[in-house]
Amino acid sequence: MLKQIKGLHHVTSMAADAQTNNSFFTHTLGLRRVKKTVNFDAPDTYHLYYGDEIGTPGTVMTYFPFAQIPRGRRGTGEVGETQFAVAPEALAYWKERLEKAGVGGVSETELFGEKHLRLQGPDGDGFSLVGVAGDKRAPFAGGPVPASEGVHGFRGVTLRLQDEGATGELLKFMNYEVVDKQGAVTRYAVPGGNGADIVDVETLPDADRARQGAGSVHHVAFAVDNKAAQAEVRKALMDTGYQVTPQIDRDYFWAIYFRAPGGVLFEIATNEPGFARDEDTAHLGEALKLPQQHAHLRAEIERILPPLKD
């Protein structure tokens, strides 16, 4: 069992418009943009990171805004919903706020004894705000949402799969335990995790496969402390038969990737060095930061990328 994994690190999705995406997360949800950089493989595309004040692992939602990308199709083999934790008493505030902002898909439901406020992002992204008592993670206090009502970070994610079996076994190997089952949904959790430590698996055997596009999650990343722990996880996964990438430097963390049996792309990311490695905490997410291999292209990249209004 991979005891090194304590929960989620980040979730990365795709969007059709950078400004719309930025406004939704910073103005509507009140998260902080903690990094403005570019896609390592497509430097003419932003990679935007949103989270708490410093981008603590387990709070960070990231996006590739590919201009004019078609909207994704919901289905199996994907992360169907990303769950954010808020105080239970904040849900009424959020319902009023989201409805006033014209956010789509706002509805109330309950799962495993927790109240959920479901909503859609600008590209039809599936989100829910979950009332979680006692979450000690501090919401970002410098945005338009009061800290008392703010997002603490992720609660977890919901995987939509045609069959739970092999992915469930992988999650158990990754330090998750089955804690409950409700209808077609099985809840997995990391004991003593980082707060972003829930994975719900919804089994939909007759549903069509998802097609990625705007509003789709590209990958979900799980957190380990450092490169040494990541190397241990990589070896254990490969010994189990998974095809895992080498350790890749993503500037703010090291990453390895592999495909889970149900089709979802998993990443294992390090908690270090963090987002303050190239700009101080007071100014996170303000300047455009480029990976070293693209630094010589700055003038061209800045000409191509649309300016973002904060």
As a whole number of angstroms, the distance between CA 135 and CA 149 comes to 12
Task: Give the three-class secondary structure for 235.
Answer: helix
Per-residue pLDDT tens digits for 274-309: 999 999 999 999 999 999 999 999 999 999 999 998
Stretch 230-241: mean pLDDT? 98
Which letter, b or e, does each residue of 94-116 get, where b requires 16 or more Cβ atoms within 10 Å of its Cβ?
bbebbeeeebeebeeeebeebbb
Q: Give yes or no for a contact between 305 and 44, defined as CB atoms under 8 angstroms apart.
A: yes
| Closest of 32, 30, 36 to residue 98, by C-alpha | 30
Amino acid 72: pLDDT: 98
- Give the model confidence (pLDDT) of 21-38 as tens digits: 999 999 999 999 999 999
Mean pLDDT throughout 170-194? 98
Percent of residues, the chain, with pLDDT higher than 90? 99
Q: According to the model, what pLDDT value does residue 310 have? A: 84
CA distances, 160 to each of 163, 168, 210 (Å):
9, 12, 9
Token pair, residue 277, equals 């490695």
Spatial separation of the C-alpha atoms in residues 271 and 58, rounded to whole Å: 9
Instruction: Determine if the pTM surpasses 0.95.
Output: yes
Token pair listed for 161? 């799969």
Nearest-Å Rg of the Cα atoms of the chain is 18
